[in-house]
Chain A
Amino acid sequence: MRIVNEAKALIKENIRDYGMFIALFVIMITFNVLTNGMFMSSRNISNLLDSAGYIAVLAVGMTLVIVIRHIDLSVGYIAGFLGAVAAILLMQQGWSVFLVIPVILLLGMVIGLFNGLLIAQLGIPAFVATLAGMLIFRGALLQVTAGTGTIIVQNTFFNAIGNGFIPSVMEINSLHLTTLLIGLITILFFVYGEIKTRIDRIKYTFEVVSVPIFVLKLVFISFIIGYITYILAGYNGFSWTVIIVLVVTMIYHFITSKTVLGRQIYAVGSNPEAAHLSGINVKKVTYMVMGSMSMLAALSGIMYTARLQSATTTAGMLFELDAIAAAYVGGVSSAGGVGKVTGAIIGAIVMASLTNGMNLMGVGISYQYMIRGGVLAGAVIFDVITRKRGK
C-alpha cells in the first residue's frame, strides 16, 4: 500500500514529465489495436522512427530556441538549401562525403551565427529576422536547383544516413546482433547511472525514493528499451538515422541538464534581465543557441537528402512548423525558460506516430491535418493546466 501511495505521489508530482510518455503509450496502443498489430510490427516501427528523424533533430534545436524566447522560421529552407548544396558538392563537384558533411554542418553554423547577429546584436525580433531567412533560403534552394531540377545522389555511404542500418556481425534467431548488443549496453549504462546517482544522493543524505519503487523504475525503463531494441532487431536493426538522433539527443540532454552553458540557456529564457545582472552573457548564449539551431538544420538537410537519395526543389518545406509543433507537444513553453530536449524527441515521435498510424488506417489527408492540429492544441492545453497546478 505504501508503495502504491508513493508511486501515486511521484506521478502526481511529475505529471508533466510523465504525461507525454503516457500519451505516446496510449497513441501507440490505440493504433496497434486499430491496425490489428500492424502498427507495432518491426518494419513499421523502424519506418516510423526513420521518418521522424530529420524533424526530431530540428525539434531539439528548436526547443532551445523557444526556451530563450525566440523562434526560428528559417530552418526548413536552410535544411532544404544545404541538403541541395550537399548533393551538388557530392555529385557535381565530386567531393568526398567525409568532406561534404563537416563542411555542410559548418555552413549551417555560420548561417545560424548570422541569425544570432541579427537577433542579439541588432535587436531584430527573431520572428522577422528568420522569416527573412526563410524567404532567402527558399530562393537560394530554387536558384541552386534551377539548372538541374532534382539532383539524384548516387553515393551509398551518404544515402545510408537516411536509409541504411548498422551492420550486423551475425544473426541469432534472425535477430540483429549489433542492435541487441547496443540495446543491452544502453540498459547497463542506464542502470549503472541510476545506481550511481542514488548512491551519491545517499552520500549527501538527500531524499531518495524507496527501494521497491527504485527497482520498479529500473525494470520498467529497461523493459521499454529492451522491447524497442527487440522490435527493431527483428527487422534490420538500428538505422543510422536512429543512431544519429540518439547521439544528438544525448549530447543536448547532457549540455542542457549537466553543464553551466545549459543553466545559462535556461536562465536567459526565464528572465533575460536577471540573467544579464547575474553576469551571464545573454548575447553569447543567443549566438550559441541560434548557431546550434542552424547546424542541426544542416544535419536535418543531410538526413532528408539521404533519405530521398536526392535533393528536390521543395525540400524543407514546412519543416520549421513540424519542428515547432514537436517542440510544443514536447512541453516547451513560449513564456521562456521551460522545456526539455527529451520532450522534443517524444513530441516528434508522437507527431510521426499520428501520421504513420493514420496512413496505415487509410485516414484521409484532410482529417489527418485536423487531428494533428487537435493533438497539438490538446498537448499545449494540458501543459498550461498542469503548470498552473504545479508546485
Chain B
Amino acid sequence: MAENILEMHTITKEFPGVKALDNVTFQVEKGEIHCLVGENGAGKSTLMKVLSGVYPYGEYDGDIVLNGKVQQFNTINDSENAGIAIIYQELALFPDLPVYENIYIGNEVKNKGIINWNQTIIKSIDMLKKVNLKVKPETLIKDLGVGKQQLVEIAKALSKNVQLLILDEPTAALNEDDSENLLNLIKALKTQGITCIMITHKLKEVVTIADKATVIRDGQTICTLDAKKGEVNERTIIKNMVGRELNDIYPKRPEKKIGETVLELQDWSAYDQQLGRHVVKKADISLRKGEIIGLAGLMGSGRTELALSMFGNPKNYKIKGTLLLNNKATHFKHTSDAIKEGLAYVTEDRKGKGLFLTQNITTNITAANLNGISSNGILNMNEEVTVAERYKDSINIKSSSINQLVGKLSGGNQQKVSISKWLFVSPDILILDEPTRGIDVGAKFEIYTVMNELISRGMSIIMISSELGEVLGMSDRIYVMAEGEIKGEITSDEADQEKIMELATQ
C-alpha cells in the first residue's frame, strides 16, 4: 500500500453554538486525487481550513500528520511552507493587478528585499505554461473570465512548490468547457506527483476524476469510497451523503398550466456606458404564466446583463426597446419599481451583490420586502422572526439559529438565504441567476421542487444557468445567448446539449 501524505485524526472544531467537525478522520494517499463531498454545511470547508492553518493549532482538537510528521500550523504561511496550498471557495485574487503580480504576491521574487520584476514576469510565464493558460502575464485579472482566473490561482499555488493542492469548489462558477479544462489540468498535475484534494457538489466530476472520495455528513466522516473497488459512483455517493436513496435529480413536473404572456422584451438593447459597448443586442423574448424559461449560454454571453437591464436597470445601462408587462409597455426607474410590479432577481454573486454578510439571517430574508413586516414604516419584529423561521424550516437552512450572521454560514446555506429573500417578496416573475451554484444534490432537488410549486401557483420563472443538465431538466423553453444576442429559441422537446452548445458557440 502506498504511503499516506496526509492523515487527520479525530479532528473536532466548534464554533459558538455549532460543532462543525466532530471527530473527523481523513486520510489521503500520496499522488492521488481525493474528493471531499457532503451536504451544505457538512463541514468540508471547515476541515480544509483546519488543515491549512486558517484556524490555528489550539482552536481545534485532534492531530494533523503530514508526511508522517505531526504538524501544528499557526498561520497559512506555516502550512504553505509545509507544501500545502489551498484555493478557497471564493477566489482571492486582486482584480486590478496583473497576472504575474497575482501569482507571486506574498511570495515575491526578490533580491536583498527588492523585488525583481523582470524575473517575476519570466518566472510567471513558466507557471502559466504549466497550467496551460495562454494569456500575457501583464493582463489584469479583471479582464479574465472566471475559468482563467481559476487557472491563475492554480499557477499561484504551483509557484510555491506545492505537494498537496486543495481546491474548494473550483468548478462551481465555471461552465462545462472550463470545468473540463480544469479537471484535465488536475490530472496532469497528478502525473507530476502532486496530490490533490477537491471539494465539489458536481458528482459527475467526482466520478470522472477521483481515486477516492470521502463523504462527510453533519461534521462526521461517513466513509471513504475507492474508485479501484468501483465504489465511486453517483448512487453510492448520494446514499452516503444524504443517508437515503435519492432516485431522481429533477422532480416530476406538475400538470402544466401555461397561460398567456406576462412579460415580453421587444428589440431590447442595453449599452454599458462604462465598458463602452452593447451588452445586450436586440433581444426578443417572451415569458408566459406558469412557465419556466431557461437562458443558456457561456459566461459573459450577456445573460446576467439582460436580467439586470429588465430588473430596474441598477447598472444604468442605456436601454432601447420595449418591455411589455401583461401586454402593457412599462418602464422601471429603479429596482424598487420592478419589485413593486412583481419581479424578483436572485443574483449569481451572492456574496458581492446578494447578501448582507454582517447581518443575521432574519434581516437578510426580509430585506427586499420590509413592507411585508411593517405598518406605517414601523417594523413588527415578532412577525419578522416568524417569517424567518418559516423559510429556515421550509428550505432547510442549516444554522445555529436565525440570529446567526450570514457571513458565517456555509456557502450553500448562504445561497438558500439569498433565494429565501426573494421568495418572501412573492413575485409573479422570478429571475434566478445560477440558482444552484454551490448547492448539494439534496438541496438542489429541494430548490427544483420549490420552483415547480411556484409555477403551479401561477408564477413564471426565468432561469439563467450554466449547467446544461439543469436547463434541460427544468425549462419549458430555452433561449440561447451569445455575445449579447439571442441566438435561438428551442422547446424542451427538441432541446439537447449539442443543439444548445452549437448556438452558444456560434
A and B pair up = yes
Residues of A whose CB lies within 8 Å of any CB of B are 13, 200-201, 203-204, 206, 258-264, 266-267, 270-271, 273-281, 333, 335-338, 389-391
SS of B interface (majority):
mixed
Whether A274 lies near B353 (C-beta < 8 A) is yes
Residue in contact with A337 in the complex, picked from B312, B356, B374, B408, CB distance below 8 Å: B356
Q: Which residues of A contact B367 (CB under 8 A)?
A: 263, 267, 274-275, 278, 280
Interface status of B275 (Cβ within 8 A of chain A):
no
The count of A-to-B residue pairs whose CB atoms sit within 8 angstroms is 101
Whether B405 lies near A281 (C-beta < 8 A) is no
Docked Cα-Cα span, A264 to B356, in Å, equals 11
Q: Of the 9-residue stretches B62-70, B163-171, B331-339, B472-480, which lies at the interface with chain A?
A: B331-339
Whether A260 lies near B374 (C-beta < 8 A) is yes
Task: For the complex formed, measure the closest distance between the CB of A174 and the CB atoms of chain B, giving whole angstroms.
Answer: 43
Task: For the complex formed, measure the closest distance between the CB of B362 and the CB atoms of chain A, giving whole angstroms.
Answer: 11
Interface status of B345 (Cβ within 8 A of chain A):
yes
Whether A204 lies near B385 (C-beta < 8 A) is yes
Q: Which residues of B contact A206 (CB under 8 A)?
A: 382, 385
- B425 to A, closest residue via Cβ: A279
Interface status of B347 (Cβ within 8 A of chain A):
yes
Q: Which residues of A contact B222 (CB under 8 A)?
A: none
Whether A391 lies near B371 (C-beta < 8 A) is no
Q: Which residues of A contact B335 (CB under 8 A)?
A: 276-279
Task: For the complex formed, measure the closest distance between the CB of A267 and the CB atoms of chain B, giving whole angstroms.
Answer: 5
Docked Cα-Cα span, A276 to B385, in Å, equals 23
Beyond A200-B382, A260-B377, whether A271 also contacts B405 by CB under 8 A is no
Docked Cα-Cα span, A312 to B378, in Å, equals 42
Interface status of B278 (Cβ within 8 A of chain A):
no
Whether B357 lies near A271 (C-beta < 8 A) is yes
Interface status of B87 (Cβ within 8 A of chain A):
no
Question: Which of A262, A267, A338 has the largest count of B CB atoms less than 10 A from its CB?
Answer: A267
In the complex, given contacts A260-B377, A271-B353, A279-B312, what are 6 additional A-B residue pairs having Cβ atoms less than 8 angstroms apart? A13-B16, A260-B378, A263-B370, A275-B367, A279-B339, A280-B336
Using an 8 Å CB-CB cutoff, how does the interface string of B324-354 with A read, 1 for contact, 0 for none? 0000000000111011100001010000111
Docked Cα-Cα span, A338 to B405, in Å, equals 12
Whether A274 lies near B385 (C-beta < 8 A) is no
Beyond A278-B421, A279-B339, whether A260 also contacts B370 by CB under 8 A is yes
- B16 to A, closest residue via Cβ: A391
Beyond A278-B335, A281-B334, whether A335 also contacts B358 by CB under 8 A is yes
Whether A278 lies near B368 (C-beta < 8 A) is yes
What 4 A-B pairs are tightest by C-beta distance, nearest first?
A279-B336, A270-B356, A278-B368, A279-B339
Task: For the complex formed, measure the closest distance between the CB of B369 and the CB atoms of chain A, giving whole angstroms.
Answer: 8
Docked Cα-Cα span, A202 to B347, in Å, equals 37
Whether A391 lies near B421 (C-beta < 8 A) is no
Q: Which residues of B contact A280 (CB under 8 A)?
A: 336, 367
Docked Cα-Cα span, A266 to B359, in Å, equals 9
Whether B378 lies near A259 (C-beta < 8 A) is yes
Using an 8 Å CB-CB cutoff, how does the interface string of B397-416 with A read, 1 for contact, 0 for none? 00010011100100000000
Q: Which residues of B contact A270 (CB under 8 A)?
A: 356-359
Interface status of B355 (Cβ within 8 A of chain A):
yes
Interface status of B259 (Cβ within 8 A of chain A):
no
Docked Cα-Cα span, A13 to B360, in Å, equals 14
Whether B358 lies near A391 (C-beta < 8 A) is no
Whether B16 lies near A259 (C-beta < 8 A) is no
Q: Which residues of A contact B381 (CB under 8 A)?
A: 258
Task: For the complex formed, measure the closest distance between the CB of B41 and the CB atoms of chain A, giving whole angstroms.
Answer: 15
Question: Which of A276, A279, A336 has the largest count of B CB atoms less than 10 A from its CB?
Answer: A279
Task: For the complex formed, measure the closest distance between the CB of A88 and the CB atoms of chain B, giving whole angstroms.
Answer: 38
Whether B400 lies near A279 (C-beta < 8 A) is no
Could you tell me which residues of chain B, from 357 to 393, have a CB within 8 Å of some CB in chain A?
A: 357-359, 363, 366-368, 370-371, 374, 377-379, 381-382, 385-386
Beyond A263-B367, A270-B358, A271-B356, whether A276 also contacts B314 by CB under 8 A is yes
Docked Cα-Cα span, A262 to B16, in Å, equals 28
Task: For the complex formed, measure the closest distance between the CB of B478 and the CB atoms of chain A, giving whole angstroms.
Answer: 25
Interface status of B17 (Cβ within 8 A of chain A):
yes
Task: For the complex formed, measure the closest distance between the CB of A197 and the CB atoms of chain B, giving whole angstroms.
Answer: 9
- B418 to A, closest residue via Cβ: A274
Beyond A206-B382, A266-B359, whether A391 also contacts B377 by CB under 8 A is no
Could you tell me which residues of chain B, from 388 to 447, have a CB within 8 Å of some CB in chain A?
A: 400, 403-405, 408, 421
Task: For the complex formed, measure the closest distance between the CB of A251 and the CB atoms of chain B, giving whole angstroms.
Answer: 13
Docked Cα-Cα span, A135 to B336, in Å, equals 38
- B406 to A, closest residue via Cβ: A270
Docked Cα-Cα span, A133 to B96, in Å, equals 32
Docked Cα-Cα span, A260 to B357, in Å, equals 19
Task: For the complex formed, measure the closest distance between the CB of B304 and the CB atoms of chain A, giving whole angstroms.
Answer: 12
Q: Which residues of B contact A271 (CB under 8 A)?
A: 353, 355-357
Residue in contact with B17 in the complex, picked from A276, A336, A391, CB distance below 8 Å: A391
Whether B314 lies near A204 (C-beta < 8 A) is no
- B367 to A, closest residue via Cβ: A278
Docked Cα-Cα span, A274 to B340, in Å, equals 17
Whether A258 lies near B379 (C-beta < 8 A) is yes
Q: Which residues of B contact A200 (CB under 8 A)?
A: 382
Question: Which of B15, B311, B314, B335 has the largest count of A CB atoms less than 10 A from its CB?
Answer: B335
